[in-house]
Structure 1
Amino acid sequence: MTIEAVLTRWPATMAVFNGHKMACVGCILARFYTVADAVAIYGLSLPAFVVELRAAIGDQDTSPS
């Protein structure tokens, strides 16, 4: 899933990206890069990042649209 898609569907996830000082929010490449791409670029753990994203999403619908 692209970063843009995640941020559009679950705006609360912006805090996760910003909390890691990632420049993804507002980046023109967010429509092309996946979350996995960004996490690799920033040298973060994908499983840990996904846990943070899910916590930010909370009870919101996480099924693909």
Structure 2
Amino acid sequence: MSRTIAVVFALAQRACALPALSLLAESEAPNMVTHSIDNLPVAEIMARWPGTIRVFIALDMHCVGCPISIFHTLAEAAAEHQLDAKLLFAAILEATGRL
């Protein structure tokens, strides 16, 4: 059962690719990606890109499983944990493979 869930989840992640990125010039693409991630709740970021979970854990953020993570954006989570938002964004983008 868990293998089936993992396969379905992996296929769903591939479907979440941003097709608009292929239409943008290289210099514009990072801004588009940052913009799409900075408005997402932390819980959705972790659901779409499970590799980001390790970033939250490494930074000693307790976002994994937190009921507030469905509301907080990255900027709000960084402020709540007294972290530099730019560093958090960079780490998340790297973990998503979109940096």
TM-score (norm 1): 0.84
> Match of 1:2?
41
**Separation in structure 1 between the aligned mates of residue 71 and residue 94 of structure 2, nearest angstrom:** 24
Structure 2 equivalent of residue 17 of structure 1: 56
> Which aligned pairs between 1:42-61 and structure 2 lie closer than 5 A?
42-59=81-98
Alpha-carbon distance, 1:33 to partner: 1.1
The gaps in structure 2 that reach 5 residues or longer are: 1-39
Opposite residue 63 of structure 2, the aligned amino acid is C
Higher relative contact order, structure no. (Cα contacts within 8 Å, ≥ 6 residues apart) = 1
| Cα distance in structure 2, aligned partners of 1:42 and 1:29 | 13
The runs of 4+ residues in structure 1 deviating greater than 4 Å are: none
Q: 2:80 aligns with which of 41, 47, 53?
A: 41
How many residues in Structure 1 have an aligned counterpart in Structure 2?
A: 59
**What 5-or-longer segments of structure 1 have no aligned partner?**
60-65
Q: Name which one, 1 or 2, has greater alpha-carbon Rg.
A: 2
Give the structure-2-normalised TM-score: 0.57
Name the Cα RMSD after superposition. 0.9
